Structure 1
């Protein structure tokens, strides 16, 4: 097929494909599902350097084109170099440089009806200029607004103001907003109704295939032994180590519970936050609380989820959270913070807690009284929920419709 006989989709905002992260997994799965569709050609921006940079040597079946370009899942992947001295502005620079690359490519190859799909709302103040250029070339700009980045506690007030203004500008300028949560879509329509934004809902995905690792696999048993854990003998918490994921409430409540099991916490490194939590909670004196580092091996992580007694999810900001979908697809019992985002996903396949003192510790005590039959039923419901609403193939099919290649 010629350049203008298929739909060219340029994706900006992911650090690459296949790395540990929501957008990186999304782009990997989307291109995988569509790799044999001759009607669509993906062009994916990747970080050449800096945090979370793209290392394509870790992927299978990569075709190297040159130092800054490679092909994977039949997608054209291009690397963007980022000046490392610009600090927090790296993400903004990365998106803008990738956007300029896409526009130059569209011009060079005379591509009509292109779609540029921007993940997250980081470059709002610059959107007007670039959207005009894309429109003049016959293309459209789609945006995934992600969660409420401006609400995250890690940002200072000026940075939060920037994220909110950027979100507003991107909602105003985009041709379509693809929301991965019904709650986010409702928020966009209510908050920015005066712009009459065109929106659609397509969730994030997951799969329900069990881990390829067997129970006795040395990688899994070695990890358990190293962390002094036993199968079904731990609760699991997975997520970025930031305040809005409610680590403090979860640890405090677990310490209050009568559980004899451990709380295994898989998270990113943040020594300042860790020290602050220990100062407030004295969790280091409770041998059940175990920070076990990060796990980037997806099959091992899936095996760890499958063998958890229960998964505890405290995310309070954002849309459809990848770690929640992965937990529902792998862990039988899921204890979720009672907010719209999480209830929308878990429905009756999970149990819920709030931040009131004693609420989560009571739930932990209660689930330990559940029999195997009850636990199995929750596991079946959770997998069915993923199968019905969040399978990657289902998500990919919906994107085909939105991109006009169904």
Structure 2
């Protein structure tokens, strides 16, 4: 797998996916190799093993985007030395994977969302991302869409037969400690949660204005870093009432799960993208959801959410969830059912494994996978096979 910063996950959704899928593939007998970004400019390429996953640590050498491009370039060149199936997460540096195509190496690309349409990018950045998306569509052996709407978009670029819909996963959380809440002055059931990048397309300002328009007798816990130097983030901070609590960015999985599990409901204002990890994780925790009304969120949350299109809609949904004792339990049950049907990591791993096998040479009986971070936001999956007598037939790394 290529395209992420590596495992264990500490940075985002793609890393979490690589970790969860990779560990499960190891348990199923695959050899998994993950490329990991080393930010030490003096580092050299080295390998080690983490929970059965082989890791190739590649130095980024430079700070920022230049370092990421350097890392991606070295990772793809390293992967191209072998005949293993690659799974690349993201397309932000898709042109680099031309080397894999030139050498006939299968490369399955998870296309993420429609990045070039996002409001946070400048005009030149949008042009660059648009070009990378087009390159990925034609350089990839097969495309993975994490949402049916993303598949429909990609089908305007390539044949629909070249695209497989595989969503994002999340754990099923049936219990969580209360200590992380108590340390932050919270109690189970006395707050709602909002977890999102603080950008306009995630409707955070509209949600906070609506929540702060009256007293609810509950707190709204907001996760994420907010800086007054940023005009939008400053507006969000200024709009918040005394019932809004900003906890900053929290990367500890157990703490985030505890906050979700013990919250009354989850507020999700994302307007664009495919299957959003934060929304799926809320379903896995059994959270009633209040979500922006769009085709992306409706497919993911289904009947587990109340939907809004403006600030008045947020107020109406909050009123129903917090005032009607029958609403929250119904939504929570729907969240559990929706997650179990579509978004468990076991189901997601099943789908990746089936697709990987389809691109392996027919003579291979048993495979071993290697996962590596690739181009800007991707991850490569290398497969090696053994024959029925256990001898190595193809794809040896050494």
Question: What's the TM-score, normalizing by structure 2?
Answer: 0.83
Q: Does 1:247 align with 2:204?
A: yes
2:39 to 32, 49, 53: 49
Q: 2:58 is matched with which residue?
A: 80
Q: 1:261-310: CA deviations, max 9, x gaps?
A: 2221001344433x5444477325x2112211122221221111111111
**Separation in structure 1 between the aligned mates of residue 53 and residue 236 of structure 2, nearest angstrom:** 48
Cα offset, 1:183, TM superposition: 1.1
Q: 1:312 is matched with which residue?
A: 267
Cα offset, 1:369, TM superposition: 1.4
Cα offset, 1:30, TM superposition: 0.7
Q: Does 1:287 align with 2:242?
A: yes
Q: 2:141 is matched with which residue?
A: 175
> What secondary structure sits across from 1:76 in the alignment?
strand
Cα offset, 1:210, TM superposition: 2.5
CA-based RMSD: 2.2
**Separation in structure 2 between the aligned mates of residue 99 and residue 67 of structure 1, nearest angstrom:** 13
Number of residues of Structure 1 aligned to a counterpart in Structure 2: 355
| CA gap 1:302/1:279 in 2 versus in 1, 3 angstroms | closer
Q: Does 1:185 align with 2:142?
A: no
**Separation in structure 1 between the aligned mates of residue 236 and residue 278 of structure 2, nearest angstrom:** 26
Q: 1:233 is matched with which residue?
A: 190
Q: 2:171 is matched with which residue?
A: 207
Cα offset, 1:98, TM superposition: 0.9
The structure with the largest helix share of the pair is: 1
> What secondary structure sits across from 2:27 in the alignment?
coil
**Separation in structure 1 between the aligned mates of residue 128 and residue 114 of structure 2, nearest angstrom:** 12
| CA gap 1:13/1:280 in 2 versus in 1, 3 angstroms | closer
Contact 1:257 1:365 in 2 (8 A): no
> What secondary structure sits across from 1:12 in the alignment?
coil
1:29 to 3, 12, 20: 20
> What secondary structure sits across from 2:80 in the alignment?
helix
Cα offset, 1:364, TM superposition: 1.4
Q: 2:217 is matched with which residue?
A: 260
Cα offset, 1:331, TM superposition: 4.1
> What secondary structure sits across from 1:125 in the alignment?
helix
Contact 1:246 1:316 in 2 (8 A): yes
Contact 2:62 2:70 in 1 (8 A): no
| CA gap 1:197/1:159 in 2 versus in 1, 3 angstroms | farther
Asked which structure has the greater RCO (Cα within 8 Å, sep 6+), the reply is 2
Contact 1:314 1:337 in 2 (8 A): yes
Q: Does 1:151 align with 2:117?
A: yes
Contact 1:332 1:382 in 2 (8 A): yes
Q: 1:94 is matched with which residue?
A: 71
Contact 2:100 2:107 in 1 (8 A): no
Q: 1:110-134: CA deviations, max 9, x gaps?
A: x4xx21111111123344344212x
1:142 to 108, 124, 135: 108
Contact 2:170 2:343 in 1 (8 A): yes
> What secondary structure sits across from 1:91 in the alignment?
helix
Contact 1:239 1:268 in 2 (8 A): no
Cα offset, 1:238, TM superposition: 0.6
Question: What's the TM-score, normalizing by structure 1?
Answer: 0.81
> What secondary structure sits across from 2:65 in the alignment?
helix
Contact 1:233 1:308 in 2 (8 A): yes
Contact 1:252 1:281 in 2 (8 A): no
Unaligned runs of 5+ in 1: 1-10, 51-65
